[in-house]
Amino acid sequence: MNESDSRLILKAENLKQHYHVKQGLLKPEVTVKAVDGISFNLEKGKTLAVVGESGCGKSTLGRMLTMIETPTEGRLAHLGEDLLTLTKDAQAKLRQKIQIIFQNPYGSLNPRKKIGSILEEPLVINTSLSKSERKEKALSIMEKVGLKAEHYDRYPHMFSGGQRQRIAIARGLMLDPNVIVADEPVSALDVSVQAQVLNLMMDLQDEFGLSYVFISHDLSVVEHIADDVMVMYLGKVVEQGSREQLFENPKHPYTLALLSSTPQLSPEKRRQRIKLEGELPSPLNPPSGCAFNGRCAYANDRCRSETPTLRLDSSEEQEQGHLIACHAVAEKRIGTLVEGAA
């Protein structure tokens, strides 16, 4: 095992999650491809951000990584061990190492339990620590996330949104995980509290060498916290690369549109607005060919018939690992059209 392999915490290959949906008594069953063939590598201490609009499959991906749902197809390996072929007991052990933080801190904490018992529950289930050892551990983690010892006996309703999200993070840390899947951890919070929680997450990453899978729709947050970024559209990855590649040299028309739609504070940073017509198509009835073709300014007949595959950006040799799924980029149609429009 070489150096890069030992740093590899999570490896996903061609993950798929398909749901079968009944539409009615006489209508045929339809398959919804919520996640359709996603691959990535996550290294120790790094953050992978998953970006996309609602309905693009980012939360489903998070649920698969934490083994809340079993993928219909694909491979998922944690430190070289395949998570999907393990026995139930071994899976339960590995689950401890991949934890999740949910979006809504108002809904994800049991209102009838005190913070202490919320935090200790993972220990009760997974370890044989004694009561006093559990309390000691809970208090030490609470201190790490900036909660006071007197909060131990309080109920969730006594806390603000930012504090609740700290509790949720503390709960995720109780079992010393390697990976934390954060599903929109700051989107329910105000900007000043959002900054506090993002700082906390980055501090904890430094201290424990955590790897994050950071699911978000807020590109300015992603630009700040991510090492690698994956842009999803209707269950598929349309562009994948390092933060620099994606934010400084975005290629896919959807990424360009997302970036231009994000409001910018400083006038210099504002991009020319690329107007996207329409909305995300229904996953029950996705368009043929590229899923984005109905909203894309560069779509031609090939885009409407043939699904593009994720491939390396061929135009620039030095761009390592910048993957794009677009016919227009591969055929170099995009540069010319932009100039033509301007």
Binding site for another protein (CB under 8 A): 53-54, 160, 162, 190-196, 198-199, 202-203, 217, 219-221, 223-225, 257-258, 260-267, 269-270, 273, 275-276, 279-280
Contact (Cβ atoms closer than 8 angstroms) between residue 99 and residue 106:
no
Instruction: Give min distance, CB of 112 to another protein, in A.
Output: 23
Nearer to another protein, 34 or 258 (CB): 258
Comparison of 270 and 332: residue with beta carbon closer to another protein: 270
- Which is nearer to another protein, 12 or 280 (by Cβ)? 280
CB of 85 to another protein, least distance (A): 36
Helix pair angle (161-173, 131-144), 10° resolution: 130
Nearer to another protein, 83 or 292 (CB): 292
Closest of 38, 97, 100 to residue 73, by C-alpha? 38
CA–CA distance, 264 with 50 (Å, rounded to integer): 20
**Which strands, in side-by-side order, build the sheet including 81-82?**
30-43, 8-21, 73-78, 81-82
Beta-ladder partners of 82: 77
Tokens of 238: 């349309």
Residue 254 Cβ, how far from another protein at the closest point, in Å? 9
d(CA 233, CA 280): 8
Pairing state between β 179-183 and 98-101? parallel
Nearer to another protein, 219 or 238 (CB): 219
**Closest distance to another protein from the beta carbon of 191 (Å):** 5
Rounded to the nearest whole angstrom, what is the least distance from the CB of residue 140 to another protein in the complex? Answer: 22
Cβ at position 296, least distance to another protein in Å = 12
Look at residue 176 and give its three-state secondary structure: coil
37 and 16 Cβ atoms separated by less than 8 Å:
yes
Nearer to another protein, 94 or 155 (CB): 155
